[in-house]
Structure 1
Amino acid sequence: MENSIYNSMIAATQLLNKQTIIANNLANISTTGFKEKFNYILQNNSIKNLHNTYNKIAKEYYNLSPGTLNYTARNLDLFVKDNGWLSVKDINGQEAYTKNGHVKINSARKLTIQDNELIGYNCNITIPNNINVKILSDGVITSIERKKHEIFEKKIGQLKLVRLPIDDLIQKQNGLFYLKKGNELFHKNHNFIDHDNNVRIQSGVLETSNVNAAKNMIEMISNARQFEAQMKMISTCDKNYEYANQLINVNN
């Protein structure tokens, strides 16, 4: 009977964790470039008794398929094609990656995404005052100035664009993705990977969240019902304990 209670308790905890992930998906349904997350319960085959709930492990997966495209016509809105990613520096100075291409210029004239500075390819990018900025498909940033009747373009720098292995990605609370330590793409003794010349971007376009609202709502309802069933199981086992104790006391 103790095993039944313990199994139900572990199952309920796993369902709560899964529910948290689903709630986060739904909360970010309008977040630019957000990628849907899933939590699957897997059997741990290394344990002898494979039928116990507590021998199962939870693993997170990311749906990295593209969301729908929103054509904004804004030069600093970027869509990274295929499995390419933008590189940013988080608040701790660590390199991270994102599909959110809503770029802004901060007070220090740096390009940022959600206050994280965009990383340049072998350069530090600073945007001069009073110019129009154009970002080409290969990430090259140019300034456009009109002087008299002529237009002058000048290269400011280039965005660092990378291609990442899907299976080695982890997402942190800040919403950014990171490459797992020890991956072969990492430079030795450094926490960064190389720029990929084949990654292409498109300006004037934003990728919306790829969260499927209907699917997540169905999963949330299903999880709630499973959680309720586990709670009933615990309650039933608790009552059985009480009946068993009463019988023992009567017999004594």
Structure 2
Amino acid sequence: MDALIYTAMSGAERALRGQQVHANNLANLDTSGFRANLELATAAALPGYGYDDRHMSRMQANAVNGRQGALKPTGRELDVAISGAGMFAVQGPTGEAYTRAGGITLDADGTMTVNGMPLLGEGGALTLPIHTRVEIGQDGTVSIQVPGQAQMQVIDKLKLVKAETAELTKNEAGLLVARDGQLLNTDNTVQVRSGHLEGSNVSAVEEMVAVMSLNRTFEIQMKLFKASDSMNEAGNRLLGA
């Protein structure tokens, strides 16, 4: 009976935390380039003498869904989306990190940013001089047209990287980073599409089904908890008889 209480309590906590993961995914249904979080549950033994037969579930949400989101045409020259696998490199709050979001804006000094973070090129943060037109090539080459000139001039090339989804996790800022903490190398096979944005890869149907399943799981765990409590009361009455 005592072991059943641990099982029920652990299962209920895992269901509750799982709902938080899926709620966050649903909240980012329309966030460009967002990668859905995946919930993973593993068994964890309780430390201490006499607890060898008691195990708790440890819920982790540090895995991401690698499925590509839909590419949406925008016609804006500073909107770019990655075709297939790959990521853009940005200067995040704690160092270099990676994202699939490609809605680029220019700050006051011409620095290219994504969600307020400097976008990195192969030579560092990308800053554009005065220009009349910007063009981002399929290989990530950034070119501008200087006022008074007809030809495009290459400024730099976007730092485009690639890694297996299993090798990635999210940091505190919600950006993708390598699990081993190392920086990813430039991958020249990554291709981008100018004038497009990638939508979130969250499936509303999948997330809602997962939430309903977790609701049922939570209800079952609560019933087990009540059953364990009833059995404890019956055992106490027998001992007191």
Residue 230 of structure 1: CA displacement? 0.5
Report what 1:112 is aligned to: 113
- The percentage of aligned residue pairs carrying the same residue is 30
> Which of 194, 204, 224 lines up with 1:213 in the alignment?
204
Report what 1:41 is aligned to: 41
Structure 1 residues 50 and 108: alpha-carbon distance in aligned structure 2, compared to 1, 3 A threshold: farther
Secondary structure of the equivalent of 2:152? Answer: strand
Residue 59 of structure 1: CA displacement? 6.6
- Deviation string, structure 1 residues 97-121 (Cα, Å, up to 9, x no partner): 1111111111232111111111110
Report what 2:47 is aligned to: none
Secondary structure of the equivalent of 2:193? Answer: strand
TM-score, structure 1 length as denominator? 0.85
- Indicate if the aligned counterparts of 1:146 and 1:152 stay in contact, CA closer than 8 A: no
Quote the Cα distance in structure 1 between the aligned partners of 2:57 and 2:39: 16
What does residue range 52-63 of structure 1 map to in structure 2 within 5 Å? 54=56, 58=60, 60-63=62-65
Residue 247 of structure 1: CA displacement? 3.3
Structure 2 unaligned regions, length at least 5:
45-50
Residue 130 of structure 1: CA displacement? 4.6
> Which of 53, 75, 78 lines up with 1:76 in the alignment?
78
TM-score, structure 2 length as denominator? 0.88
Residue 192 of structure 1: CA displacement? 2.2
- Indicate if the aligned counterparts of 1:14 and 1:58 stay in contact, CA closer than 8 A: no
Report what 2:48 is aligned to: none
Quote the Cα distance in structure 1 between the aligned partners of 2:191 and 2:52: 47
Of stretches 153-162 and 56-65 in structure 1, the one that deviates more from structure 2 is 56-65
Alignment-mate amino acid for residue 126 of structure 2:
I
Residue 205 of structure 1: CA displacement? 0.3
- Deviation string, structure 1 residues 156-192 (Cα, Å, up to 9, x no partner): 211111111222111123221001226xxxxxxxx42
Is it true that 1:202 corresponds to 2:201 in the alignment? no
Secondary structure of the equivalent of 1:32? Answer: coil
Secondary structure of the equivalent of 1:41? Answer: strand
- Indicate if the aligned counterparts of 1:123 and 1:157 stay in contact, CA closer than 8 A: no
Kindly report the root-mean-square deviation, in angstroms, between the aligned alpha carbons of the 2 structures.
Answer: 2.4
Alignment-mate amino acid for residue 160 of structure 2:
L
Structure 1 unaligned regions, length at least 5:
183-190
- Indicate if the aligned counterparts of 2:131 and 2:145 stay in contact, CA closer than 8 A: no
Quote the Cα distance in structure 2 between the aligned partners of 1:143 and 1:219: 47
Quote the Cα distance in structure 2 between the aligned partners of 1:168 and 1:162: 13
Residue 194 of structure 1: CA displacement? 2.0
Alignment-mate amino acid for residue 201 of structure 2:
N
Residue 33 of structure 1: CA displacement? 0.8
- Indicate if the aligned counterparts of 2:102 and 2:114 stay in contact, CA closer than 8 A: yes
**Total equivalences in the alignment:** 236
